[in-house]
């Protein structure tokens, strides 16, 4: 599921092709539905329960369940418990927390969610609580400073010539 979900991220969501966008939505909705079932039956799929790769896949699916806020909120609550028990990555929790906050219409905490690209071509985050302390919060959960994070999301430079 996560492979199909991830494969469609780069070319399905960020496209003007309406059919590809609809396919992306269909796939992420189906995966979100399945994750909802898994979370209900087993709780958060920790690495100790399902292995590192499957646990990461569950996190990716939760991150992409943007039209299923209930799934994201349930995943967030369960991942909080897993991280507190040493069975999850704090950075993953931070990213999912930001995603849920943004999808709920609230400012994010860690600045992990990018809203778009500004006129200067630089990535622009969704609103952040207390931006001056953001890098300190990012460091606490093992995330790179925001300036490093946005370089990963910056569009490539135009071809020379």
Local structure of 79: helix, strand or coil: helix
Instruction: Give the pLDDT score at 151.
Output: 83
Under a CB-based contact definition with an 8 Å cutoff, are residues 86 and 123 in contact? no
Enter the pTM of the model. Answer: 0.86
Q: For the chain, which residues make up each domain, given as ranges?
A: 1-88, 105-161
Q: Indicate whether 156 pLDDT > 90.
A: no
Each residue of 122-150: pLDDT tens digit?
Answer: 888 999 999 999 999 999 999 999 999 88
Under a CB-based contact definition with an 8 Å cutoff, are residues 29 and 58 in contact? no
Residues 21-53, buried b or exposed e (16+ Cβ, 10 A)? eeebeebbbebbeebbebbeeeebbbeeebeee
Instruction: Give the pLDDT score at 122.
Output: 83
H-type alpha helices, the chain: 2-8, 18-42, 47-50, 52-64, 69-84, 90-103, 134-140, 146-151
β-sheet bridge partners, residue 124: 116
For residue 62, the number of C-alpha atoms closer than 13 Å in the C-beta half-sphere is 31
Instruction: Give the pLDDT score at 10.
Output: 47
User: What average pLDDT does range 65-73 have in this prediction?
Assistant: 97
Report, in angstroms and rounded to the nearest whole number, the Rg of the chain calculated over CA atoms: 16
How far is it, in rounded angstroms, from Cα 58 to Cα 45?
A: 7
Each residue of 11-65: pLDDT tens digit?
Answer: 455 667 888 889 989 999 999 999 999 999 999 999 999 999 999 999 999 999 9
């Amino acid at each position: 599921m996560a492979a199909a979900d991830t494969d469609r991220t780069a070319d399905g969501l960020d496209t003007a092709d309406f059919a590809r966008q609809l396919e992306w939505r269909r796939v992420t909705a189906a995966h979100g539905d399945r994750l909802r079932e898994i979370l209900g039956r087993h709780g958060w799929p920790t690495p100790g329960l399902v292995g590192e790769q499957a646990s990461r896949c569950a996190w990716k699916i939760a991150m992409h369940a943007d039209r299923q806020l209930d799934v994201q909120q349930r995943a967030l609550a369960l991942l909080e418990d897993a991280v507190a028990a040493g069975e999850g990555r704090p950075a993953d929790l931070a990213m999912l927390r930001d995603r849920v906050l943004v999808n709920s219409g609230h400012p994010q905490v860690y600045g992990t969610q990018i809203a778009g690209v500004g006129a200067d071509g630089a990535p622009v985050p969704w609103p952040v609580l207390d931006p001056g302390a953001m890098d300190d919060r990012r460091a606490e959960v093992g995330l790179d400073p925001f300036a490093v994070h946005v370089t990963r999301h910056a569009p490539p430079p135009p071809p020379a010539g």
